[in-house]
Structure 1
């Protein structure tokens, strides 16, 4: 009975291969049902092939290797796929996948032949498997994500309404002066995640130009370093 089953399977595979009729022109052609399966035609003879596990066949690619990431390919009615060759960290051997911990949304795994690399998203973004990129959390619409610390150790948090530029567009990474230290300032990455930064010694932050500047150019910080040098005391608060 087992021999019959194996022979039947082989016969079915042979039938599937022979059922595809090569066009007159040599090349690679998609299977009508399986998105990661294709046929390579040479001299009218079809050879059945599979993309690497995790990739799918795109007949529109004008190069020899027509296997690409699923989010780049419209499979249409070709909904079937080969059996996954997964491991603990990679659902398939190749592709971009969400972190296995569902509470970690700002990192993802890039799997190449079953080996993974952990990749962090830009601050404030979440990974979206449907696009294979990091996007704003409301676009990713993922649930159960761990809350990101949105305050510095001193308690600064980014304003909910970011400033706009001369064209009326929201500033991507707005800066804000430190309330008591002329040398320091805050940057809000993507407008939501604060970073505490500082100018080099001898300079102070200029809120008007949004960059470090000479003390004499910033009102209230003219004597920031002068008084410190004269008294050898800790720097005074911004007036």
Structure 2
């Protein structure tokens, strides 16, 4: 289409001259005899031959030709056909996103666009001020650019680059950092799960993973596990390390580190756990535990001495 346009343009200027086979922007003009056009040579990209036309007396100046060439070059330099897509460079130089594919972009140099792809697993961020604008998907808003290149996967890395969950869906506390297809295993801190949408470890409620198996350290020998519901203080704030009473032993209680990892603890001999105050207390202060030490001679003797 570009060639036909240039040919018609010069046909208009030279009143009958036409270069229908032009496919290269470079145009040579030899003008002699004052204002008369004597010969125009249209160079082809693979110059096996040239088309020479000598029209009758045609009146246009070198200035006219220069202006015409300038307009043509400006008009076509910012539009490039790449893989059947007519991409228009917004600026002569820079990197610009593809309208439909998030990991594809165009690098424009002097108005000519070259299509490029981010490394598999990364996507193009047009707002990134760095030279390398490819970043992790959880850091980029792709919007309507929903398409991606075909994945290059292996048994640990669904794509060559990125952070990915363990292949076993029941293992939620382990993930892999993949760099060019090489996966490095990373274990989350105790009680945390890998968040696939943030690429980091997070509390299970935030990560939102389902089907996770409970690790052995998350369950005590007597079967106790930390409740999933957050315990709140009197100020309606989540308690960092909530404490729970033992169901069968007034002296014992459980501490859930970070609300997830259970640990069994106990009060000193002669005291029982007061769930209301969240502290160890005298037995008579805890309903149901008043007689917890009545058959313990050591405690009874100690009580007699104090009285």
Range of TM-score over shorter length:
0.5 to 0.7
What's the CA shift for 1:117?
Answer: 1.4
Residue in 1 aligned with 2:53?
none
Secondary structure of 1:71 counterpart:
helix
Question: Are residues 1:97 and 2:97 paired?
Answer: no
Tell me if the contact between 1:27 and 1:41 (Cα under 8 Å) persists in the aligned partners: yes
Tell me if the contact between 1:123 and 1:189 (Cα under 8 Å) persists in the aligned partners: no
The counterpart of 1:62, out of the listed 129, 132, 144, is: 129
The counterpart of 1:190, out of the listed 245, 251, 258, is: 258
Question: Are residues 1:115 and 2:182 paired?
Answer: yes
Q: Would the alpha carbon gap of residues 48 and 146 (structure 1) be closer, same or farther in structure 2, given more than 3 Å must change?
A: same
The counterpart of 1:81, out of the listed 148, 152, 156, is: 148
Question: Are residues 1:145 and 2:237 paired?
Answer: no
Residue in 2 aligned with 1:42?
109
Question: Are residues 1:130 and 2:192 paired?
Answer: no
Tell me if the contact between 1:98 and 1:105 (Cα under 8 Å) persists in the aligned partners: yes
Residue in 2 aligned with 1:20?
87
Q: Would the alpha carbon gap of residues 69 and 61 (structure 1) be closer, same or farther in structure 2, given more than 3 Å must change?
A: same
Secondary structure of 1:19 counterpart:
strand
- Write the distance in 2 (CA, Å) between the matches of 1:140 and 1:219: 38
Residue in 1 aligned with 2:77?
none
Give TM-score, length-normalised by structure 2.
Answer: 0.51
Tell me if the contact between 2:161 and 2:181 (Cα under 8 Å) persists in the aligned partners: yes
- Write the distance in 2 (CA, Å) between the matches of 1:73 and 1:111: 18
Higher Rg: 2
- Write the distance in 1 (CA, Å) between the matches of 2:210 and 2:154: 24
- Write the distance in 1 (CA, Å) between the matches of 2:122 and 2:160: 9
Q: Would the alpha carbon gap of residues 35 and 134 (structure 1) be closer, same or farther in structure 2, given more than 3 Å must change?
A: same
- Write the distance in 2 (CA, Å) between the matches of 1:67 and 1:143: 30
Aligned-residue CA RMSD in angstroms?
Answer: 3.9
Residue in 2 aligned with 1:72?
139
Runs (5+) with no aligned partner, structure 2: 1-79, 266-277, 283-297, 303-307
Q: Would the alpha carbon gap of residues 62 and 195 (structure 1) be closer, same or farther in structure 2, given more than 3 Å must change?
A: farther
Residue in 1 aligned with 2:237?
169
- Write the distance in 2 (CA, Å) between the matches of 1:18 and 1:138: 45
Residue in 1 aligned with 2:22?
none
Tell me if the contact between 2:161 and 2:179 (Cα under 8 Å) persists in the aligned partners: yes
Relative contact order, higher structure (CA 8 A, sep 6+): 1
Aligned residues: 196
Q: Would the alpha carbon gap of residues 88 and 64 (structure 1) be closer, same or farther in structure 2, given more than 3 Å must change?
A: same
What's the CA shift for 1:162?
Answer: 5.9
